[in-house]
Amino acid sequence: MASPESASFEASSDAQAKTPAFADFRRIVIKVGSALLVDRAQGRVRLAWLTSLVEDIAALHARGCEVMVVSSGAIALGRTVLGLPSGPLKLEDSQAAAAVGQIALSKTWADILGHYNITAGQVLLTLGDTEERRRYLNARSTLGRLMELRSVPIINENDTVATTEIRYGDNDRLAARVATMASADLLVLLSDIDGLYTAPPAQDPNATLIPVVPRIGAEIEAIAGDAGSELSRGGMRTKIEAGKIATSAGTHMVIASGHVKNPLKRIMEGGRCTWFLTSANPVRARKSWIAGALEPRGTLHLDDGAVAALRRGASLLPAGVKRIDGQFDRGDAVVLRGPDGAEVGRGLVAYDSTHAARIMGHSTSEIEALLGVKGRSEMVHRDDLALGVE
């Protein structure tokens, strides 16, 4: 039976929080689990279901939304092809299954999206790609460019090289990291269950759905259940962890059942689900993180023209940098100062201090000649910049 604390939480949530409108979101990450995507008995993708999901994605895409998909299923497909037994796999068997299954998984997504004239892009990530700032910037830039080109990135953990010590462990948390890295405003977790209940429904027939969670606190963490299927590494507990990651970065999250055709359309039409709300937005949350949570490793001294351009919303180009202090790597936080020495803002720098010193004061057209490679045009991209006046 639901506890009095859970029941009172549910009532207060409904009274105080409003369900967001799906149509208001522009950049969306959708997580699809193995248990939804793969028919374990047949060892193949559930094509009819996946086609219905892609139909929903295509509708969002046609509306101008930017969509990313975090898709499980590589190991589940590969283990069948290789004839591996059911149950937990040894690390090397999981890596082999992922290597085989990822080919089939990517081709399936590409073929079905192709029916709607949408190009799929494959992105395989490891834990370090979202934890180490230099690799984080590379991955963020790749995802951003794919979406600018109107492609749908299909993202998965790189299970062929990940080990127990250096892995996300489940695609719920991977999806949350991707959502925050890409500044998505909505994360959709399609699940075996249609939302968060006051108690695990399989154990408590009186459990009731919580439609809106304004904030993830101790009472929410306490009622999260465990993993429910052989194909899923995660359960409700990992979804709550994903929600904490996403909402703290300004991303709304929704958990909904994937055991229906057109699952996104079902959410849009008011179907059963649980919304996890954030009071921030991705851009503001990211800039707050840059401004206050990172220790600066160096200083870039700018001319008046660069300061004025930054305040108009432009990126920092090498030509506007007149002096560099400190030793820093690509992706480190740096302080930006104007000609009078006053701090203008802070940002994540796109070059290490050695390369930055070579190209400062030069136009972007000279970067390749100066460095021997075609580097990025911006010293600090405007998306990686927090001005002091913001």
Q: Is 156 annotated as a binding residue?
A: no
Rg (CA), the chain: 23
Q: Is 159 annotated as a binding residue?
A: yes
Q: Is 172 annotated as a binding residue?
A: no
Q: Is 129 annotated as a binding residue?
A: no
Q: Is 384 annotated as a binding residue?
A: no
Measured in whole angstroms, how far is the alpha carbon of residue 353 from the centre of its chain? 29
Per-residue exposure over 280-300, b if at least 16 CB sit within 10 Å of its own CB, e if not: eebeebbbebbbeebebbbbb
Instruction: Give 180-244 as a DSSP string.
Output: HHTT-SEEEEEESSSS-BSS-TTT-TT--B--EESS--HHHHHH---B--TT-S-BHHHHHHHHH
Cα–Cα distance, 140 to 181 (Å, whole number): 6
Cα–Cα distance, 64 to 223 (Å, whole number): 37
How deeply is 312 buried, as exposed, middle or buried, from its count of CB atoms within 10 A (0-12, 13-18, 19+)?
Answer: exposed
Q: Kindly report the backbone phi and psi dihedral angles of residue 301, in degrees, each rounded to the nearest multiple of 5, phi listed first.
A: -100, 125
Q: Is 204 annotated as a binding residue?
A: no
Task: Provide the annotated binding site for substrate.
Answer: 72, 159, 171
Residues tagged in the binding site annotation for ATP: 31, 191-192
Residue numbers in the known binding site are 31, 72, 159, 171, 191-192
